[in-house]
Each structure stands twice: as structure tokens, then as C-alpha cells.
Structure 1
Amino acid sequence: MPAFAELLERLLFTPGRNAKLALLRRWFATQPDPDRGVGLAAIAGDLAFSTAKPSLVRDLVATRIDPVLLAWSHDYVGDLAETVALIWPEPPARPNRAPPDLSEVVETLELLPRSEIPARLAEWLDVLDPGGRLALIKLVTGGLRVGASGRLARQALAEWSGQPVEEIEEVWHGVPPPYLPLFAWLEGRGPRPDPRDAPVFRSPMLAQPLEAPDLAALDHAAFRAEWKWDGVRVQAAAGPGGRRLWSRTGEDMSGAFPEVLEAMDFHAVVDGELLVIRDGVVAPFADLQQRLNRKVVGPKMLRDYPVGLRLYDLLFEAGEDLRPLPFDARRDRLEAWFARTHPARMDLSPQVAFASVEQLTGLREGARAAGIEGLMLKRGDAPYLAGRPKGLWWKWKRAPLAVDAVLMYAQRGHGKRSSTYSDYTFGLWRADREGGQELVPVGKAYSGYTDQELVWLDRWIRNHTTARFGPVREVEKALVLEVVFDAAQLSSRHKSGVAMRFPRISRLRPDKPAAEADRLETLMAMVESSENNLS
């Protein structure tokens, strides 16, 4: 456990990607099995404990620490795990036992009855130092947040072993933690794990954003155009070994969309976009959000938010790898496969005809009115390559929208930002019942600003706080922020009646009086119609 605690601490305070990769490579090279595999699973998000939850940790701490002191400490630190690690009282007599191994912690949490978990956690917290306690609590609650993802961990595995990351991705989901066969293969001690017909994740091909210089040099005759749908990119893999629905980052989404899984009665791997579709019409992304990250999906949710899969590529057919084929050939195979299979809840993303760059420009300019995110351009001769190869696929999104909003509330972030006010709630003006003006919250933003702007914002918030609500500060309604976003959609979940898609801070406007910020009516006028004639 101490070695894992050191890894987490160094990952947390190491900003550079290459430095994080170096830390992970060292972990794989120096730690024994099964600890290195358990650590890898924790970083990749592949560990989950049904008996240990954040609420259990909070209840346990309440037995040792005054609740008021805990609440004030949590407010100051901003992170529950870090707060507990620092404030956990030393026992009168330090237990005469060594800190637990990482694999011991995981095995115990998997096998021990729920009623016995708190006492065992307390024993471990008593023998660990603050760094070890922090690692233990983050491991138990699944909230590592150290700036290292599963993709980064697999890249580190590739660099450490010399095997291509795409090869590792091919077998990753076919080998459960602690990945002993995987490490044996990477170290030359065993064969490459064979996923056979298991529904494993394949690294997706991603598009580059199309900028003005790229558009000027574009050979339009070499490309095919499709609509860029405003949904969630997924990969559906099905065959004799089972069925899985993967996100573009390799997250298993199968449980949240049982009706799509049921429709995958085929032996193939297809690439497409998950959308809420009613009578052939694509619903706004806000409708799809109702279905995301749900562990249980009831009949009402299935009825009110019917999900379908819009297909645009065929990667495998009955075990045959089609990725080396040109896009045009894969498209022909996809159309033929779809005509034979007719999978329920699925349709084909249509190709968009065009004869010039000028026509493409016109299509893109009309995308917002049609409720579509933009265009995808794909070279007809391009194979399906993992990653983001330059010049083969382009995404040409519609121009973002923007409003000038007033900062209303701020909250500390997580991880490296746990002591900085980096999460902002902003609002727009509307008429109140007395005939005056009031601010109504319209969104939250966590990104878009520079490091220098973050320092300035944090200082401004601390100096202009008017009230506190736990970790949230209400501020003087005086600072204007230019907020850009991809779309606006009606939402009954928000007090304002409207939700923004991907809001981020474009720039700070301390020069602009708050009274001159935009009104709610301005944002409501940007709401997209749910009707879509291009589906």
C-alpha cells in the first residue's frame, strides 16, 4: 500500500503527460504481481467494490471526529478523502502490524461481509500514514482523480513493454484484473492473450478538427461527407462470446442501454452514434443525457427516451477484420450487412452528396437550423486506424454560440484544483415579479480559462464572497464572463428552463458592467428545435 500511495501522490502533483507516463512505466517495472495489476485496474477505473461506498467512509469518520470539525475541515480542504487522511486521529497505541498490501486490501473488500468492512477500514487507517490513508480512501470510493486515465495507463504499458498500444487495447477487456496473462505476454513469459470471440473494445479512429488552412487545401473529390450527429460515439461488439456496448474511451455502457444490447443479435463490430430517436427524428442531446450513467433503467425511462444506434462503419464481420480496407469498401460492406441483418433500433447514417467546397460550406452553415452538430469528412481510400491520424478524417463543427453572463456562485474543484475556486455557476437577467430584474442561473463551466485567469478568478471570488453554503461561495454579482457553448436546449430540470451543451469560459469581461450582460430571452432564442428533417 505505501508504494501505491506514493504513486498516487506523485501522479497527482505531476502535471506533464510524459512525466506521468514515466511514473506508470516505473510502477509496472518495479512492482510485483498481483499488486501492479491491481494498481493498474484502479487507475483504469476497472475496480468497483459493492460493499464499500463513500457514505460508509463518512459514517466511519463520524465515529472518530467531531462532525462540526469534519464539516469545516472538508470545506477548507475541498476533498473528502484528503480531509479524512489529514484529520484521522492517531490511535493511543500504534498497532503492531504492517500496513496492508494493495492486493490484500482489494481481496478483503471483495470477500468481507458488509457489516465487517467499517472495522477493517478503521484498522487500516490506524496503521497507515496520511499518504497511505489518502490512497486507501480513494481506492475504496473509486475517486482517484490523479490525472491518469485508462488510456494513459495502456499507453504506459505499451512504452514499457514495446508492444503497440493498439495490440494491448485488443486484449485489454478480455483479461480481468490483476491482468496476470497480460503482464506475462508483455514480459515475454507467455503467449498473447486471445480474446477469441469475446466482445472486446477496439481503439477508435478519431477525426481532426477542420481549420481554415486545411479547408483551403482540401481535395474535396477524395472525401465523403456525413452528418456529425449530436449524440455519444459508441462501438457495439457482438458474437458468440457475448455482447458489449463501449464508449469511445472503452467504458462499458451495456447496462445503461439494455434495449440496444438486446438488438445486437449479430456477429460483428459496428461503429456509430447513440441517439434518442422518436419516429425517425433525432431528439436533442439533453434527452440522451437522461439515459447516461444510469445503473438501473426502468420501463418509463425506456418508453420516454427510446435510444437507437446510427451506424457509420463496420469494423468486423463474422470475425473478419475489415479495418485495413478503404472507407469506401467498408461502407459498401456496411450497407450490404445492414440489408441482410436489419438489426432492430439501428439505421445507417446517410452520406451527404456535394460537388464542391462551397457546397460543403453551405451544408455546414445549415446544420444548426437542422439540429445537427456539423459535418464529418472521410477520405474514401482511408483505412480504419486507431488514434487521430492527420488528414484522413475531419470534423467540421458548426460555429459555437456565445452569451455574456454574470458569475453567481463558485466552488472548489477536485484533485489539483481542490483548493482553488474553479467551478463557476453563471446567470442571465430576466424580469422578476415586481417588475425589476433578477439573475437566474443558466449553466456551469469548469474549463476554457487559462492558468493565469484561474489565479485571477480565484482571488476575485475570495475577495467578493457574499455568502457561503458549504463548499459553495455566492459572490457579488459584478463579474461578466463570456461563455461559449455548442447548443441550447429546453430543460425542465433547470430553473431557467434551458440547458447549455458544453459551456466553457471564453474570456473574462471585467470591463463590462454586470447590468449589460445578456438576458435570458437571448439564450432562449438560441434553443434548437427538436424537429430534424435530415434524419
Structure 2
Amino acid sequence: MRAFADLLDGLIYTRSRNAKLRRIGDYLKATPDPDRGWAMAALTGGLDLPAVKPALIRAMVEERVDPVLYAMSRDFVGDSAETIALLWPEPMVAPEESGPLLLSEVVDRLATLSRSDAPGVLASMLDRLDADERFALLKLAMGALRVGVSARLAKTALAQAFGLDVEAVEEVWHGLQPPYPELFDWAEGRGVQPSAQNVPVFRPFMLAHPLEETRVDLDEYAAEWKWDGIRVQLVHVAGQTRLYSRAGDDITHSFPEIAEAFAQAGALDGELLVKGEAQGGAIGEGGGAGSFNALQQRLGRKLVSAKTLAEYPAFVRLYDILFDGAEDLRELPWHERRRRLEAFATRLDPERFDVSALIEAGDFEQLEEIRAGARDAAIEGVMLKRRESPYVTGRRVGLWYKWKRDPLTADCVLMYAQRGSGKRSSFYSDFTFGAWTEEGELLPVGKAYFGFTDEELKWLDRFVRTNTLNRFGPVREVEKTLVLEVAFDSIHESKRHKSGLAMRFPRIARIRNDKPAAEADRIETLRRMAT
């Protein structure tokens, strides 16, 4: 655990991307199997220790530390693993076990535990470690490292350390299981490159740059709607179908009707949506999608009931094709892949799949007008794709652009604030805001924790501390005097919130300390914006 703890500690305090790459690479080259494989699994989100849950760890530490002290410390530190690592008492009697605790030993033991045995085993491990090793163990066990490293960066570090092509690593990654012995055999020249043949593996998505001030020639770029669902990849190989999220997570079990309907060999890129309330039967081109709020009723469910399947029927709006059968189409230009996609889609169930329609516009100015008028619940903006572009991993300048629709805004009143986590743990940085009812009651309509500068954060933190009315654990209720201009992508009816509304991607656009709270927006005003 010593080397893994040093790695995490170094990554937390390293801001430079290149320095993070070097740290991970040095660790992978110096650390033997299988420890380095388990470290990669942890860094890329591929490690699951089901017997260890945050509630179990909290109960375990509260048996050894005053619960009030733990709660106050957790509130101040902002991170459970760091708090417990620092508060954990030294054992009264030295543990019988001797020698260092290996990362592979930890994973092997925790992966086979029952929930009843987990507290005792985890406590005995913590007793053998010092504070930063305890921190690493708890981060590993709870499955949320949050050390400023994405899965892509970890894979890039591996590729650079061993002189591999990162695209080749990505290509085979999802066909391998941790601790990845075949991967390191290939990396160090003891084995051949692993093959993804006959395995429904995930291949990284092609992504887009924000359009910002760029203007493009529509003779060179095609325009289509950017739909507000979740990006998915459908893969069918050797009789197996998998549905992957943008992060490469297997979400097949959450959308069984989609997997069942996709039985054509190939790999497609698209947007997962649910049908709109008035829709039924074939979805057709261009419309029929419900809001993201409706899609949320399906997300994250391990088991989907017949009632949920009927109330929120899912479908995929197809964007691109990567493989047609065993034929790799990614090097073809977009316009040729589009032709192949349209042909492929004719073999699919029209109730579950359609092709995202292109936007017909004579020039860029006309496209601007079309985009400005789009307020469909499921439209997030416009995609612009170079007609000659291949399908490549990640973001490449000049190939694909995303042009989101302009946000909606509302003036809302700050109601509650909560401390942030990590580097924001000393600041009140999570803000709940509300709008007025016709009867003069203030009801919460959203929560935001970004959009402001560091200086504005300090100002807001001072406001919260000097205008606190009540404390509810880590949350403070403040005087209802400060107006915030809130920007959001869309707003939807919601039965889960007292106001009956839920904002999509709210962020604080401006602090309106010039505006009286009584002049903030009303619930009815926001309801008229709802889609």
C-alpha cells in the first residue's frame, strides 16, 4: 500500500497534466504485477468491492471515535476518507500481522468479504497502516478516488510509459479484466497485443469542440440536432449485444429492450432517449423524444419493471456507424459513413431506432435562425460535422463542433448553502436558490455549485457566514436577501420537488446584489419556460 499511497498523494498535489502522466508511468514501471494492474483498475473506475459501502465505514469509525467529533471534522475537511484516515485511533495492542500490506492483498481480501465480515477485516487493515496509507485504502474501498485523474489520462500514462499507442490501448481495454496481465505482457514485450475480436468491446467516442466564435462553411460541414439524452454505443458481436455509456460503462441491463432489439452485427454511435408523452408506435425522424427529466426515470436502474418500460419507452437516435458487421468504417469520411448508417438503420426496428435528421440550411446565418428558434424539450443545440472527417477518438480541432442553444436565465433568491468538498471544503460553495409563489412563499427551484469566479466564491462565502439564520448539520439557512442570476439549459415539470420544477445544468451567471429579493422571479414565470 505504501507505493499506491505515495502515488495518490503525489497526484492530489500535482496540477500539471504532464507531471501526472509521469507519476503514473513511473509507478507502473516500478511496481510489479498484480499491484499495478489493480492500481490501474482503481484509477479508471474498474474496481468494485461490493461488501464495502460508505455507510458501513461511517458506522465502523463511529464505534471508535465520538460521532459528534467525526461529523464536525467531516464537515470541515470535506472528504470522508481523509477525515477517517486522520481520526483513526492507534491500536491499543500492535497488530499480530507483520510486514507491508500489499495492494493486491487488500483487493483480494476485500473482494471476497461478506458484509458482516467487512467491518472487522477493514478495521484490522487500517490498524496496520499509517495515515496516508489509510487514506489510500479508504479511497480504494469506497471506489471514489477523486485525485484529478480521468480514465483516459491513466490509459495515456500507461501508453506513454511503455511506448504504446493510446488508441490501441483504448481499443482492447474493455475486453480485458483487472489486473490486466495480458496488457502488461504486451506492454513489456512478453506477449502479443490483446485482441478484441469476437468480443463486444467499447471503443472511445469521437467528441466535439465548442463552436464559440468559430463560423463554418456549410459546404464543408453538415448540421444536425444535438439531442439531450445520453450518448451511447451499441455493439453486437458473435451473438452478444452491449450498450455502453460515454464513459464506457456497460448499461445493457438498464435498457434491456434496446439490447434485445439490436441484433445486427456492428457498432453504432447514438443518443439514448425516451419517447415523448404523446408518442406511440414508430418514432420517425427528428421528433418524438421526451425531455432529459423523463429519461432520468430510467437511468441507474439495475432492474427495470414492466411498468417503467411501458411508461418510459427508450429508443436510440443514431449519429454514426463505426463497424458494419466486421468491417471497420472509422477511416471513411463522414458523408460515406452517413450513407452506410442510413442503409444499416433500415434493418433495425423503427420503434427502437432512427437516424438523427440533418438540418437543411442555405447558409450559416439561416442556421443561426433555425437554432435560435429551437426550444424542443429534447434539443440541446446543433452539431456541425466536417463532411470529410474520419471517426477518431477524442476531440480533434476542426472536425466536429457542438453549438449549444443559448441558456435560459432567471433571477432567484439564495436560500441555503453547504460546504464544498476537496479544495472547497473550507468554503460554502453549494447554493440552493428559490423563486416566489403567488402567495409570497419562497420555494427551492435548483442548486448550483459553479459559474462563479474564485473572488465571487469568497464574497458568497462571507455573505453566508454573516447572514446565517439556522444551521442544519453542514447546511446553513441564510437571510432571503441575495438575488442570483441563474443560467440553465432547460427547466421541466417535476413531481419530486415542492416547486414542481427541476432545472437542467443550473449555474450562477451573476450575483445581483443590486436587486431587491422581492423582485426576483416567480414560480409561474419559470413554469412558462418549462418544456
* CA distance in structure 1 between the aligned counterparts of 2:450 and 2:26, rounded to whole angstroms: 31
Determine whether 1:472 maps to 2:509.
no
- In the alignment, structure 1 residue 320 sits paired with structure 2 residue 323: no
Q: Compute the RMSD of aligned alpha carbons.
A: 1.8
* Preserved CA contact (<8 Å) 1:308 1:346: yes
Count residues in correspondence. 521
Q: Where does residue 113 of structure 2 map in the other structure?
A: 112
The answer as to 2:501 corresponding to 1:498 is yes
Residue 194 (str. 1) matches residue 195 (str. 2): yes
Percent of aligned pairs sharing the same letter? 56
1:226 alignment counterpart: 224
- Alpha-carbon offset, residue 174 of structure 1: 0.8
Q: Which residue of 1 aligns with 2:123?
A: 122
Quickly say closer, same or farther: Cα 1:527–1:207, change in 2 above 3 A.
same
Shift of residue 503, structure 1, vs aligned partner: 0.7
How far is the alpha carbon of 1:343 from its aligned partner? 6.7
Counterpart-to-counterpart distance in 2, 1:248 and 1:519: 37
Within 2, Cα distance between the matches of 1:161 and 1:457? 47
The within-5 A match list for 1:252-401 is 252-277=250-275, 278-279=279-280, 280=283, 281-342=288-349, 345-369=352-376, 371-401=378-408
SS, match of residue 103 in structure 1: helix
- Which of 228, 236, 239 lines up with 1:238 in the alignment? 236
Q: How big is the shift at 1:69?
A: 2.7
Q: Deviations over 1:486-520 (max 9, x none)?
A: 11111111111111111111122233332232222
The equivalent of 1:518 in structure 2 is 521
State the match for 1:405 in structure 2. 412
Aligned to 2:484: 481
Determine the C-alpha separation between the residues in 2 that align with 1:271 and 1:59.
44
Letter in 2 for 1:467: N
Q: Distance in 2 between matches of 1:420 and 1:13?
A: 19
Deviation at 1:72, TM superposition (A): 2.7
Residue 52 of structure 2: aligned partner = 52
2:435 to 425, 428, 432: 428
TM-score between the two structures when normalised by the length of structure 2: 0.94
In the alignment, what sits opposite 1:165?
166
The 3 A distance-change label for structure 1 pair 247 and 465 is: same
8 Å Cα contact 2:274/2:314 also seen in 1: yes
- Aligned-pair CA distance for 1:157: 1.7
* Cα distance in structure 2, aligned partners of 1:400 and 1:28: 44
Which residue identity does 2:121 align to in structure 1?
R
In the other structure, the counterpart of 2:177 is 176
**Equivalent AA in structure 2 for residue 119 of structure 1:** G
TM-score (norm 1): 0.93
Contact 2:261 2:349 (C-alpha < 8 Å) held by counterparts: no
Match of 1:533 in 2: none
Structure 2 CA distance for partners of 1:449 and 1:95, relative to 1, 3 Å: same
Residues 41 and 47 of structure 1 are in contact (CA less than 8 Å); yes or no, is this contact kept in structure 2? yes
Find the residue that maps to 2:309 and give its secondary structure. helix
Unaligned stretches of 5+ in structure 2?
none
Contact kept in structure 2, 1:13 and 1:416, CA below 8 Å? no
Distance 1:335 1:371, change over 3 A: closer
Q: Is residue 447 of structure 2 the alignment partner of residue 449 of structure 1?
A: no
**Aligned AA (1:379):** R
What are the superposed Cα offsets for residues 204-230 of structure 1, whole Å, 9 maximum, x if unpaired? 111222233x22xx2211222211111
Match of 2:132 in 1: 131
Deviating more after overlay: 271-280 vs 160-169? 160-169
What is the identity, as a one-letter code, of the residue corresponding to 2:529?
M
Aligned match of 1:90: 90
Instruction: Supply the distance in 1 between the matched residues of 2:100 and 2:239 (Cα, whole angstroms).
Output: 40
Residues 148 and 498 of structure 1: CA distance in aligned 2, closer, same or farther (over 3 Å): same
Question: Aligned partners of 2:178, 2:458: CA distance in 1, in Å?
Answer: 40
Structure 1, unmatched stretches of 5+, are 529-535
Deviation at 1:362, TM superposition (A): 2.1
Structure-1 separation of matches of 2:262 and 2:426: 46
Which residue of 1 is the match for residue 247 of structure 2? 249
For 1:254, the aligned partner's letter is T
Question: Could you tell me how far apart the structure 2 residues matched to 1:242 and 1:148 are?
Answer: 32
CA 1:399–1:523 in structure 2 vs 1: closer, same or farther (change >3 Å)?
Answer: same
